[in-house]
Amino acid sequence: MLDNYHTDTPVPIVDLDIVARNIARLQTICDTAGVQNMPHFKTHKSLRIAQMQIDAGAVGITCQKLAEAEILAAAGFGNILISYNVLGSAKAARLQQVAEKTALTVACDNPVVAQFLSKSMAGSRAAIMVLVECDTGRERSGVTSPKQAADLASVIAGLPGLKFAGLMTYAPAGDPAPTSNFVAQTRKLCAENGLEINRISAGGTPGMATIGQVGETEYRAGTYVYNDLMMIAAGAATQADCALLVHATLVSNASPDRAIIDAGSKVLTSDTGGLDGFGLLIDYPEARIYALAEEHGFVDLSACLQKPQIGEIVRVLPNHVCPVSNLQSDIGLTQNGHPAGQLKINARGASK
């Protein structure tokens, strides 16, 4: 690829036209299904893209950590879901501040977190809406039975400063029945305790095609905004839907079949997403990034009919895009095929 843009590599570059198309596609799916769109901040961590999502019809923004919610709340986003157990004494005052600035929902899967959330709100007239996180098969966080979910809902409903709001799940791929059944049983048990479930949050880009089928009222998708090789492998995107490419320079070719690019694990990350290799050279699809050192990408060129040359800029589609943008302060933008400035990654590294 010719270096028309005098590109300083390695750098991720995002195509804003593809981003806008991806945002519109999810919004249409949500609107058609009558499900509220709460896209996930974790992928782009950019206030500008979050605003594009709101402008297209999203009702709020989901994030994973309190530090991300602080950035969103400070920027005036009015409806934020932290889809994560927030816990730790250093977070209490921070949590109350966010809850006083914005409509804040937090997910929770255990009474220790529920009590912490409640204590954090002491002295405040605001309240945190709390979703009970349910593990419907992914085996990450989440209560593992409808009974536990209903019991935790009652704990939450009884704590000052909290409002029980409903359920959250990150359902595994495949059969929706375990999730639907979990939700139905929990709804029944909660009703017996006098609690109504008004919100059910589901999520994940691979599940976009079937939004609504587990009875969710809102949806959290993150990766869809950029897409990556994992989403292609999951059947949720094509290469044309992938908005972020890492531009890297081929800096060494000491052995005929081995090239080194200037993007290693500190740019592409070591996250393979369970796929082979560490990204696709889209202009040389027969090439294979077979290893990464911190600043070296090792490329096997043996299968390439035409080989990239030293000094050439190559474009890498990452396996998993979310941790890639988290490594940058600013990434490049293009629009209509032309450079379009920089995108600030406001919540880079905001994991606290």
Rule CB under 8 A: say whether 342 interacts with a copy of itself.
no
The residue among 79 and 319 lying less far from a copy of itself, judged by its C-beta, is: 319
Among 327, 335, 339, 342, binds a copy of itself (CB under 8 A): 327
10 Å Cβ neighbour count for 17? 14
Rule CB under 8 A: say whether 310 interacts with a copy of itself.
yes
Q: Please say whether the beta carbons of 70 and 63 come within 8 A.
A: no
Rule CB under 8 A: say whether 341 interacts with a copy of itself.
no
The residue among 40 and 101 lying less far from a copy of itself, judged by its C-beta, is: 40
Task: Tell me the closest approach of the beta carbon of residue 57 to a copy of itself, in angstroms.
Answer: 25
Binding mask 39-68 for a copy of itself (x = CB under 8 A): ---x---------------------xx---
Rule CB under 8 A: say whether 182 interacts with a copy of itself.
no
How would you class 97 by CB atoms within 10 Å of its CB: exposed for 0-12, middle for 13-18, buried for 19 or more?
middle
Bond prior to 10 in cis (omega within 30° of 0): yes
Name the pairing type of β-strands 103-108 and 79-82.
parallel
Among 15, 70, 109, 216, binds a copy of itself (CB under 8 A): 109
- Could you tell me how many residues of this chain bind a copy of itself (CB under 8 A)? 67
Alpha carbon distance 164, 159 (integer Å): 9
Alpha carbon distance 304, 81 (integer Å): 46
Rule CB under 8 A: say whether 116 interacts with a copy of itself.
yes
Alpha carbon distance 37, 217 (integer Å): 9
145: Cβ contacts below 8 Å, ≥ 6 apart: none
The residue among 59 and 87 lying less far from a copy of itself, judged by its C-beta, is: 87
Sign of the C-alpha dihedral, residues 324, 131, 215, 141?
A: positive
Residue with tokens 């991300």: 68
Task: Tell me the closest approach of the beta carbon of residue 23 to a copy of itself, in angstroms.
Answer: 20
Closest CA to 349 of 323, 320, 319: 323
Rule CB under 8 A: say whether 328 interacts with a copy of itself.
yes
Among 123, 192, 240, 255, binds a copy of itself (CB under 8 A): 255
Rule CB under 8 A: say whether 143 interacts with a copy of itself.
yes
The residue among 29 and 109 lying less far from a copy of itself, judged by its C-beta, is: 109
Secondary structure of residue 342 in the 3-state scheme: strand
Rule CB under 8 A: say whether 10 interacts with a copy of itself.
yes
* DSSP strands (E only) in the chain: 11-15, 36-37, 61-63, 79-82, 103-108, 128-134, 162-169, 199-203, 218-220, 244-255, 258-261, 280-281, 288-292, 297-300, 313-317, 330-335, 338-344
The residue among 198 and 351 lying less far from a copy of itself, judged by its C-beta, is: 351
Rule CB under 8 A: say whether 307 interacts with a copy of itself.
no
Task: Tell me the closest approach of the beta carbon of residue 76 to a copy of itself, in angstroms.
Answer: 24
Under the rule (CB under 8 A), what is the footprint of a copy of itself? 3, 6-11, 42, 64-65, 84-91, 109-110, 112-113, 116, 135, 139-144, 148, 249, 251-255, 258, 260, 262-267, 269-272, 293-296, 298, 310-311, 313, 322-323, 326-329, 348-349, 351-352
